[in-house]
Amino acid sequence: MSKWSFYTSNEIKPAGWLKRQLEIQAEGLAGNLDKIWPDVRDSAWIGGDREGWERVPYWLDGFIPLAYLLENEDMISRAKKYIDAILSSQKQDGWICPCSDEERKTYDTWAVQLISKVLVVYYECSGDERIPPIVYAVLKNYYELLKNGTVRLFGWGKFRWFETFIAINFVYRRHKEAWLQELAEILKAQGTNYDDHTQLWKRPLNHWRLETHIVNLVMMLKSEAVSCELLGASYTDHAEELRSLLAQYNGTVYESFTGDECLSGLSAIQGTELCGIVEQMYSYELLYAYTGDSKWAERLEVLAFNALPAAISEDMWTHQYDQMSNQISCEKFLGHPIFGTNDGEAHLFGLEPHFGCCTANFGQGWPKFTLSAFMHKENTIVNAVMVPGELHADGVHILLETEYPFKNSARYKIASDKDFTFVVRIPSFAKNVKINGETFGGSELRLDIPCGEQEIFVEFETVPQFEKRPHGLHAVKCGSLIFALPIPYTTNMLEYEKDGVIRQYPYCDYELIPQDDWNYGFCSEALSVKTGAVSGVPFSAKHPPVVIDAALQQIDWGYEERYDTVCAKIPGATAPISEVRQMELIPYGCAKLRMTELPFVK
């Protein structure tokens, strides 16, 4: 059994800067793919002639909770149109994916696993009672096909077998039938055992393979948590062992791993695929829910407040496939790209840079993060992530007013028809924590809340500090925020058509061309934090809500060999070649061109 359960989009609502972030997403690419992108607009899932595999389910996975969180009736009706079309095409035996009976053997059933999960998401948002028996039939059919050998796991389905457990657990809570446990065992038996491939993570190669694919690996982190109960196994926190190994050889400053799109080693100039970021967030959301271990929620914050906004334009009409920590330019590579297994346009901001999976999938990031803010178990409610929002559930109303992570305070206004226990997760980096003015020490605030109304005011301090990075570099962190030196740039807008897909404003492609120096090193350990207002664009480069003043000097850093748009992985020299300059570092998520990992000058 899980430690915490999720609330639904009817019970949780975003507020403040988080609501604005969701509104921008709804007005941008993820909120409009069904109008402009052939692979969603004309998909085989709804009777069209375009892609009939993962892209519509990926898109719905974020579009559905976004629509319901914002109570946007137009978006809700558009989501229902897709769900209705998918349900209407389900075969008598339960098969639901858009392929013929003869094609099933060669159809990668990753799509079965994914659409099953999406239907659960839809039910949890809509309460549509058609869904539970539909999901039951899909899984029963999947079980029968796997058991009799009509289909077997291969390709993506083999490496993502555990994703099916979102739907299996959903059905098992309603029907504790033996075939569901058998299905669980078949999936595990036919699925990949990642322990057999960990040696491949230690020395990444420029070779595309499923065993080192970044999205597979971040999905994998939740596999034990979501499957152990049905498999009759004890939870061992194997995710921590696997995560630590990945971080040791491929770690990034923003708590993910290099993967462009397979593991790429320890380097600030290798990329991380955006699909990997949102799927890692989802894994951490589930890991926290299943285990209650605060480390997963804290790592989730770092991804959400840094890596997610960094790879998406401020208007959320374009995104990158790959982001780099030290990203001095986003211009097409004229020769061989720096990326291990991605093309020379993967770091451009656009509609479909490199490949369309991230176009469809990035939309799940913010909505599912919002739904992770509050969780519950019996008569206890936990605030897992301190972001602005409201909870209305079971006679309890909690309004959370905060500008965290940009400011370190939160006011909880509670009105309840009953007594309950309220838990607030306190970040491990919080200093001088006070609750209603009284000093508090501990990682978890636990209060018995009586029936009635009251307020709880939480405040704490965070101290900016340098974090050691590989190759003698350092990054600045303050709480969950990473800070980077922004590089001013101009944009080169690219409007064109490719493979029948039109790129035109606002969903065209953009190159970002640097207009200032980037070759700096730190020359002092003094760091000064300044906070301001959160603007209508929460992760704005022009109006960052918090900045850090730091002393820097230019160095003869140099470019990576054979490139003139990529800084060297390791600076060529660290002797200063300029006077000291006081410069502003801004949140990593605000800076599209940036230097994040720098040396100290010598």
* pLDDT tens track for 213-257: 999 999 999 999 999 999 999 999 999 999 999 999 999 999 999
Instruction: Give me the pLDDT at residue 1, please.
Output: 60
Instruction: Give me the pLDDT at residue 166, please.
Output: 98
Is the predicted pLDDT of residue 550 greater than 90, yes or no? yes
Report residue 477's pLDDT band, with 50, 70 and 90 as the boundaries. very high
Over range 317-343, report the average pLDDT. 97
How far is residue 107 CA from its own chain's centroid? Answer: 27
* pLDDT tens track for 121-136: 999 999 999 999 999 9
Over range 75-80, report the average pLDDT. 98
* pLDDT tens track for 360-397: 999 999 999 999 999 999 999 999 999 999 999 999 99
Over range 67-78, report the average pLDDT. 98
The contacts of residue 477 (CB under 8 Å, 6+ apart) are 253, 464, 465, 466, 467, 483
Over range 58-83, report the average pLDDT. 98
Report residue 206's pLDDT band, with 50, 70 and 90 as the boundaries. confident
Instruction: Give me the pLDDT at residue 257, please.
Output: 98
Q: What percent of the chain has a predicted confidence (pLDDT) above 90? A: 98
d(CA 137, CA 334) in angstroms, rounded, equals 51
Over range 538-555, report the average pLDDT. 98
For residues 216 and 280, is the Cβ–Cβ distance under 8 A?
no
* pLDDT tens track for 159-178: 999 999 999 999 999 999 99
Report residue 442's pLDDT band, with 50, 70 and 90 as the boundaries. confident
Q: What are the φ and ψ backbone dihedral angles of 388, each rounded to 5 degrees?
A: -65, 135
Over range 272-299, report the average pLDDT. 98
3-state SS, residue 454: strand
Q: Which of 511, 471, 515, 521 is nearest to 489 (CA)?
A: 515
Token pair in block for residue 124: 């949890």
- Look at 513 and 1; give whichever has higher pLDDT: 513
Is the predicted pLDDT of residue 90 greater than 80, yes or no? yes
**Could you write out the DSSP letters of every residue in 355-395?**
-THHHHHGGGHHHHHHTTSEEEETTEEEE-S--SEEEEETT
For residues 592 and 347, is the Cβ–Cβ distance under 8 A?
no
Q: What are the φ and ψ backbone dihedral angles of 327, each rounded to 5 degrees?
A: -120, 95
* CATH 2.60.40 is right for the domain spanning 375-461: yes
